[in-house]
C-alpha cells in the first residue's frame, strides 16, 4: 500500500495551536515566530517582573516578529487590504490574553464565572483572528503595517 506523500514545504506561519503551545511553554517548534511567542508567554507569566523591562522586551519581540514577517512572507498583491496591526502586535495580544485566561482558570474558585468565560471567549476570538490573518497573508490578500508601526 503506498504511503501518502507529505507536503515538503512547511507552512509559512505556525498554526494558532503551535503559537498557543509555545506561549504556554509546552512545545516550542523551531519556527522563529513560535520562539518569539514562547518568550512573550514567558514574560507575561512573570508576575513580579519590572513592567518597564517587560514592556521594552515585549516591544523588541514584537518587532522581531515584524522584521521576520517583512523578510519572509510573500509580497502581497497590490490591492491587498491593510491589516490594522502588525503581526508582532497580534501575537503579543494573543500571548497576553492566553496568559490571562490561564491565570484566571488556575486562580478562580468558580471557573464557570462570567469573567473566566469572557477571557476564554476572547482568547478563542484571537485564535480565530490569527488563523484568518495567517491564511490571508499566505494568500497575499492582506498586507501588514511596516515593522514597528500600526495603521
Spans of all domains in the chain: 16-143
The Cα 96–Cα 23 span in angstroms is 9
Instruction: Give the residue with greater pLDDT, 125 vs 147.
Output: 125
Q: pTM value?
A: 0.87
Q: Above 70 in pLDDT, residue 73?
A: yes
Give per-residue pLDDT as tens, 77-133: 999 999 999 999 999 999 999 999 999 999 988 988 999 999 999 999 999 999 999
The Cα 80–Cα 68 span in angstroms is 19
Q: Above 50 in pLDDT, residue 7?
A: no
Instruction: Give the residue with greater pLDDT, 27 vs 134.
Output: 134
Amino acid at each position: 500500500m503506498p504511503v501518502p506523500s507529505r507536503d515538503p514545504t512547511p507552512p509559512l506561519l505556525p498554526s494558532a495551536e503551535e503559537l498557543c503551545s509555545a506561549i504556554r511553554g509546552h512545545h516550542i517548534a523551531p519556527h522563529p515566530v513560535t520562539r518569539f511567542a514562547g518568550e512573550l508567554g514567558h514574560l507575561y507569566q512573570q508576575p513580579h517582573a519590572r513592567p518597564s523591562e517587560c514592556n521594552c522586551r515585549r516591544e523588541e519581540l514584537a518587532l522581531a516578529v515584524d522584521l521576520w514577517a517583512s523578510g519572509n512572507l510573500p509580497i502581497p498583491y497590490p490591492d491587498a487590504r491593510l491589516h490594522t496591526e502588525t503581526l508582532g502586535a497580534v501575537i503579543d495580544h494573543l500571548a497576553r490574553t492566553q496568559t490571562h485566561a490561564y491565570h484566571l482558570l488556575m486562580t478562580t474558585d468558580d471557573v464557570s464565572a462570567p469573567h473566566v468565560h469572557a477571557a476564554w471567549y476572547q482568547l478563542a476570538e484571537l485564535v480565530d483572528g490569527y488563523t484568518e490573518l495567517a491564511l490571508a497573508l499566505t494568500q497575499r490578500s492582506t498586507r501588514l503595517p511596516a515593522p514597528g508601526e500600526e495603521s
